Each structure stands twice: as C-alpha cells, then as structure tokens.
C-alpha cells in the first residue's frame, strides 16, 4: 500500500504486516498516513487522511476505519449514503444517512471478513419517536443488512430472524428487504415517505 507508516511505540514486524493486511482487505483505501501506537483506532480526515491505530491492533476496527475512508471519498459510495441536495436535511434524512453509511462500511468489511461483522450483531429493534425513526435506528445497528448487501444471505437471515417476535418486526422486514435490494439513500428515504409519510402510523 502507498500510505506512510509512522511508528510511535515498540511494535513487531508481524504486527505491522497484520495492520497493513487489514487495511488492504477492504480495497484501495485512500489513506495517506498510518500512525501506529495511538490511544485508539480512528480515522482523521483533513488535508490528509490519517488512520491512527492503537495497540494491540483490532482487525475489525482497522478494517472499519479503512472502509470508512473509501465510503467518504469514492463518488459511487458517497451516493449510497449522502443526503442529495434536493432533500430537506431533517432528522429523518440525517439519521438515515448515518445508518446507510454504517451499513455500507460494514458491508465492505463483510465482503472480506464476514465473521468480524457477525460478532458485532445486535438483534434488537431500536424504538424511535416515530415509526420511520424506529426503522432507521434499527437499521443503524443491524449488521444483517450489511451481510445481505455483501452477499452473505444465510448469516443475514439467521440474524434477522432473532427479532421476529417484536411487534415492529414485520414492517422492519419490509423496509429491510427494500433497502438491501435498493441500497441507496434516496430510494430508502422515498420508501419511508411513501409508506409512512415520515410520521408514526
């Protein structure tokens, strides 16, 4: 990879190779500098894109941040989660954008290492003030959607079944089916407005 490594702590060569491999697994991430030995693993975007990595390295955290670097810089990926200029930037749009970004990032990770995503599964409905917000907030934590987008359908179905007893599970499944089939912000946003008018129904 082309990123420059800055080492701020004692680290073994195999650890550096592990970090480099975790970054490369999610594709050509546009990272300029990797700082090894930071307090926590996080991405910083400014004039340069810097990935800070804590020790010992956490493979999922590294892959997640590298995938985020792609998601916020590649035009075709930005289109998945960003709020288009013609859409009112209200609470629903903001939360849907964030949820789509999270699902996109985990789908990139899942294509390389699905087990790392499955380990972070949260099988629960997250209640919002309105039904659309409930659907969006549940999507934000639901890694089954990312697994489906990544083509890992059996794992996705198993996780999705864990919330089947919740009263909102049926409508969430309809939303989930639509989002995973039409994985872009605008179709998902329009579905919410069309089906529920942005209100609790």
Q: Tokens 């075709």 belong to which residue?
A: 76
- Give me the phi and psi of 168, to 5 degrees please: -90, 5
Is residue 25 domain-shared with residue 115, that is, in the same domain?
no
Is residue 118 domain-shared with residue 58, that is, in the same domain?
no
- Sequence-ordered list of residues with C-beta below 8 angstroms from that of 149, at least 6 positions apart, any chain: 103, 104, 107, 110, 180, 183
Is residue 199 within 8 A of residue 132, CB to CB? The reply is: yes
Point out the domain boundary residue: 55, 71, 87. 71
Q: Which domain holds residue 39?
A: 4-71
Directed axis angle between helix 131-141 and helix 169-181, to 10°? 60
Gap between the Cα atoms of 162 and 40, Å rounded: 32
Q: How does DSSP classify residue 32?
A: S
Q: CA of 60: how far to CAs of 18, 45, 97, in Å?
A: 12, 19, 22
- Give me the phi and psi of 43, to 5 degrees please: -100, 135
Is residue 130 domain-shared with residue 107, that is, in the same domain?
yes
Point out the domain boundary residue: 51, 71, 91. 71
Over the chain, what is the mean pLDDT?
Answer: 94
Residue 63 forms part of a structural domain = yes
Cα within 13 Å of Cα(170), Cβ side: 1
Is residue 87 domain-shared with residue 138, that is, in the same domain?
yes
Is residue 88 domain-shared with residue 182, that is, in the same domain?
yes
pLDDT in tens, 7-30: 999 999 999 999 999 999 999 999
- 2: confidence class by pLDDT, cuts 50, 70, 90: confident
Domain count, the chain: 2
Is residue 110 domain-shared with residue 189, that is, in the same domain?
yes
Is residue 131 domain-shared with residue 169, that is, in the same domain?
yes
Is residue 98 domain-shared with residue 186, that is, in the same domain?
yes
Structure tokens at 106: 């985990």
Is residue 119 domain-shared with residue 171, that is, in the same domain?
yes
**Three-state secondary structure call for residue 50:** strand
pLDDT in tens, 112-171: 999 999 998 988 999 999 999 999 999 999 999 999 999 999 999 999 999 999 999 999
Is residue 55 domain-shared with residue 136, that is, in the same domain?
no
Residue 201 forms part of a structural domain = no
Is residue 117 domain-shared with residue 186, that is, in the same domain?
yes
Is residue 91 domain-shared with residue 135, that is, in the same domain?
yes
Structure tokens at 114: 């699905």
Point out the domain boundary residue: 18, 53, 71. 71
């Amino acid at each position: 990879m082309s990123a420059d490594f800055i080492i701020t702590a004692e680290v073994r060569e195999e650890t550096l190779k592990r970090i480099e491999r975790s970054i490369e697994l999610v594709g050509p991430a546009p990272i300029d500098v990797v700082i090894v030995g930071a307090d926590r693993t996080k991405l910083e975007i400014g004039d340069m894109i810097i990935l800070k990595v804590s020790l010992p390295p956490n493979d999922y955290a590294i892959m997640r941040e590298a995938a985020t670097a792609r998601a916020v810089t590649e035009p075709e990926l930005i289109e998945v989660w960003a709020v288009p200029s013609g859409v009112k930037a209200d609470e629903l749009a903001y939360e849907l954008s964030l949820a789509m970004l999270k699902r996109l990032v985990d789908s990139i990770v899942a294509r390389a290492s699905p087990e790392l995503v499955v380990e972070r599964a949260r099988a629960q409905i997250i209640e919002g003030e309105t039904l659309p917000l409930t659907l969006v907030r549940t999507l934000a934590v639901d890694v089954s959607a990312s697994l489906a987008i990544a083509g890992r359908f059996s794992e996705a179905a198993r996780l999705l079944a864990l919330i089947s007893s919740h009263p909102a599970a049926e409508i969430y499944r309809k939303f989930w089916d639509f989002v995973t089939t039409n994985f872009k912000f605008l179709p998902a946003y329009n579905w919410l407005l069309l089906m529920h008018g942005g209100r609790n129904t």
